[in-house]
Amino acid sequence: MLIFTSDIHRQHHSAELDGGQLIPSWECPERIDVTLAALAKSHQLQQPDALDATILEQVHSPEYLDFMATAWSRWVDSGRTAQTAMGFCWPSRLPSHKPPTSIDGALGYYSMGADCGITEGTWAAALSSAAIAQSATTAVLEGEQAALGLCRPPGHHASSDQFGGYCYLNNAAIAAQQLRDSGVPRVGILDIDYHHGNGTQQIFYERDDVAFCSIHADPTTEFPFFSGHTDERGDGPGAGFTTNCPLPPGTGFDSWSEALGHCADQLVAHRVESLVVSLGVDAFVEDPISSFKLTTLDFHEIGHRLAAIGLPTVFVLEGGYAVGAMGSNVAAVLDGYEHE
């Protein structure tokens, strides 16, 4: 399997507010180091092609993209010396609300919380991550059965105009939009990260050309808290094209596997012709910020089950914070996929 990666991600490592303390983010550069070490001997690594920014503009609002491109310089110009730009006021946004002109207000308006911020290198890393997703998608469009984008920062919590959950640009949505722009009639997104892909859901919630399925922790107790319930099924033309499978703390592979089967059935029912997998491996039993009980052997079986869906597949990396085991878990998915 072709794997796309870049060192530009190292330019980004923000702080986050966790338990009332400001700490280095769990989403760290070492996640990619460990994963590359596990994959380099058995897979072909490639640098991404140049980014096609026009696809970003179909996924994210122009105002949000402009904010992200200028946020760090505005933070520095305001006289701040902190190495992470972060808001402190997060309003309930109404259609009538206008984006604040101050950087402090804008950071709150365009983010969903203090779980991540913006550093000097965040925008460059986010653009590189999007380019990686695009390159993996191009490989599949050109005939590869599957390709993996080692995207960092991840993307599935980024909505059309907000960052959060360690995510700034929605790589899965970018891949799906690229597939659509290239003539794929209907695309499926399967999100297997421990946390609900709220941003991906929001972007496609009213569309019937992209079916979104997610297996995740119950949002009544877990981040992102405000989306991912079973009754969220899409709206307007997209009614019925969103499938959420929230699962309780302590879920093991038997229950998780049943949810995967349900999602696979939904993808078949929606007649999708290409698949984007938001590949989070934070359902792992030893993950420090998760509560599911999946093992490395389970991830191998997940790869096998994904291959059985039988669709050209773009994998984009999402979460996974048991750093020492992350490479083994990603490798297990790919091995299961390639040796079904």
Question: Residue 340 — very low, low, confident or very high, per pLDDT cuts 50/70/90?
Answer: low
Cα 263 to Cα 279: distance, rounded to the nearest angstrom: 15
pLDDT, tens only, 156-191: 999 999 999 999 999 999 999 999 999 999 999 999
Query: Catalytic residue positions?
Result: 157
Report whether 192 contacts 280 (CB < 8 A): yes
Other C-beta atoms closer than 10 Å to the C-beta of 90 total: 15
Q: Please report, rounded to a whole number, the percentage of residues in the chain having pLDDT higher than 70.
A: 99
Residue with tokens 């059935």, as numbered in its chain: 265
Cα 77 to Cα 336: distance, rounded to the nearest angstrom: 50
pLDDT, tens only, 20-37: 899 999 999 999 999 999
Q: What is the CA radius of gyration of the chain?
A: 18
**Would the pLDDT of 214 be above 90?**
yes
- Spell out the domains of the chain, with CATH numbers in brackets: 2-14+26-49+121-338 (3.40.800.20)
**Would the pLDDT of 99 be above 70?**
yes
pLDDT, tens only, 120-141: 999 999 999 999 999 999 999 9
Cα 305 to Cα 286: distance, rounded to the nearest angstrom: 22
Q: Could you tell me the sign of the dihedral formed by the alpha carbons of 289, 293, 299, 300, in that order?
A: positive
- Residue 79 sits at φ, ψ, to 5 deg, of 95, 5
- Residue 27 sits at φ, ψ, to 5 deg, of -85, 90
pLDDT, tens only, 219-241: 999 999 999 999 999 999 999 99
pLDDT at position 98:
82
CA 204 to chain centre: 14
Cα 53 to Cα 117: distance, rounded to the nearest angstrom: 22
Stated as kind and residue range, the H or E segment containing 326 is: helix 323-338
Cα 39 to Cα 67: distance, rounded to the nearest angstrom: 35
pLDDT, tens only, 262-305: 999 999 999 999 999 999 999 999 999 999 999 999 999 999 99
Render 191-206 in DSSP notation, one character per residue. E-SSS--HHHHHHHTT
**Would the pLDDT of 96 be above 80?**
no
In the DSSP assignment, the letter for residue 247 is E
**Global pTM?**
0.97
The most distant pair of C-alpha atoms in the chain lies apart, rounded to whole Å, by 56
